[in-house]
Structure 1
């Protein structure tokens, strides 16, 4: 069965006349008749019956028309999707990011990009480190912001966008809150508020504490940056948070203090499937990111 046969069949069904259908399709009447005949032979049924000078659909012809029109609609949608795929000013960027970047960084970047490309749409997925990697590998998203950015991966290509420092985050009334800088070991007896298992900041904080000679005592665990920050501000413990997580916030706020005895950082990068061409609009967005952070 060919696309042309379905096209001719639908047009004849609409016009109820071979000659008028041929004129609409800009082909000969014999070409239309031949394609309809071949389609009926392939299906093994009569799709039309002659009624005077017109053609009417048989019951099975009416059923087939409904399905054929659905097929053609899906095909036109697919063609349109491919056209959008290739058009840098249309289409959709599917992007993933961790919760810690969803408050400020990602919305700010998207807003700036859409000033230059107002017709581009975005589909978002938030998740933990491993779920974001899986979303890229499975094709659920085209790109994902991730922290830390994997440097070696057989199936992923990663590019570091920025490296940011983590600060000791203390309640406002903490005895060390007025210090410009502290050693991390000064917090060894403090209760810590940390992200739960599976969040990339947790092992960074854990390793920094290990280098300082202690294992953090966890008092609370959270899944959102706002939660961690709020619990610290409320006096539930201390934490280490990146600078981005401490910007542009309102309400009850913790105090950030520089860590003097070691440099605790995290990388933020963008990942995609290795050796696979991105949709044009996603590639435009990726280049925008590299330019923005450079």
Structure 2
């Protein structure tokens, strides 16, 4: 064997690996997966564009690039919008898990400091804000002074939309199980619903639902869970609900009740101050009793951070103090959060 025929010479004969043009290859990234999950949930590029604040053509190109890379259609277009194919459903499950895992890693890294620090935006119904809002702010300042909770009040349907668009970190909504697979829900409390009237209409004692339904009521629109709970209670008596007027403003609804237009149905906390001052009267609805579950909701791929989880725990603590104290309230039960849910 000559010198030129040894092992070293043979290695030298290997052809160099061809250069790879990375710019021309399609590689799935988190941005593409996020766009895909939004389109899959909302069944529309236009709606996903509105929620994400991203131009529709950019989302379309992202979806097309995914389909090109995977060499299979991910959506079928029909009259109901964009429906996932079998391959799309498979990608959806994996993409949702990837996004959730990435978010958890981000939160864990951020929470490694010695003190809880940060902002958290919490949405809640008027009843929860009235019963626990001030107590929560006070307790947060005492216990976690470097955390700044921001409370936003709204109807449950609006709060759900704000969570979906990322405007809220978490929200507490009444009687509303999320209708999007992107949302996770935890039942944290149960509230009773009350008949609300002008001064003197109710004396604080129980109000039979059948008697209440003899009157036309001021009610929120059909998308509000209070309306569906009242309709279900009426159906159990083979009765129906008559709406004097549909109003999606708690402030206006209470004002119209106070002026004697018609009674209404709300959780106790929503009229707490008016009952204390005598501006309104109320009584718990019975026969049947109507209760509303209070759900904590948040995005599946953006679970509550350590900071948000601590604020939620303090909120539940404040609510338990309300229930244990002498102050009137409408809560039937305050539950513990599962340890596995906390971050």
- TM-score tier, shorter chain, comes to 0.5 to 0.7
Q: Find the partner of 1:258 among 268, 284, 304.
A: 284
Whether the aligned pair in 1 keeps the contact of 2:156 and 2:176 (CA below 8 Å) is: no
Shift, 1:133, TM fit: 2.3
Answer yes or no: is 1:200 the counterpart of 2:239.
no
**Structure 2 Cα separation of the partners of residues 179 and 168 of structure 1:** 9
Equivalent in 143, 147, 158 of residue 116 of structure 1: 143
- Contact kept in structure 2, 1:170 and 1:237, CA below 8 Å: yes
Aligned length: 212
- Counterpart-to-counterpart distance in 1, 2:221 and 2:303: 35
Are 1:86 and 1:280, in contact at CA under 8 Å, matched by a contact in 2?
A: no
| Aligned-residue offset at 1:276 | 4.2
5 Å-filtered alignment, 1:127-276, equals 127-150=154-177, 154-174=181-201, 177-178=202-203, 180-249=205-274, 251=277, 253-274=279-300, 276=302
Q: In 2, Cα distance between the equivalents of 1:277 and 1:179?
A: 40
2-structure distance, mates of 1:258, 1:83: 47
The C-alpha deviation readout for 1:33-92, integer Å capped at 9, x for no partner, is xxxxxxxxxxxxxxxxxxxxxxxxxxxxxxxxxxxxxxxxxxxxxxxx998665553210
Structure 1 segments of 4+ aligned residues over 4 angstroms from their partners: 81-88, 290-294
Q: 2:309 aligns with which of 269, 278, 283?
A: 283
Q: Is the 8 A contact 1:182 1:258 kept in 2?
A: yes
**CA distance in 2 between partners of 1:120 and 1:214 (Å):** 49
TM-score between the two structures when normalised by the length of structure 2: 0.53
Partners of 2:158 and 2:284 in 1: CA distance? 31
Which stretch shows the higher mean deviation, 257-266 or 211-220? 211-220
Gaps of 5+ in 1: 1-80
> TM-score, normalised on structure 1?
0.60
Mapped partners of 2:204, 2:131: distance in 1: 27
Matched position secondary structure for 1:140: coil
Does the aligned pair in 1 maintain the 2:139–2:314 contact within 8 Å?
no
Larger Rg: 1
Q: How far did residue 137 of structure 1 move? A: 3.2
User: Hey, what's the Cα distance between the residues in 2 that align with 1:271 and 1:159?
Assistant: 7
The residue matched to 1:205 in structure 2 has which SS? helix
> Which moves more between the two structures, 122-131 or 159-168?
122-131
- Equivalents in 2 of 1:98, 1:156: separation in Å? 18
Shift of 1:193: 1.0
2:123 aligned partner: 96
Pairwise CA distance, 1:291:
4.6
CA RMSD of aligned residues (A): 3.1
Shift of 1:265: 0.6
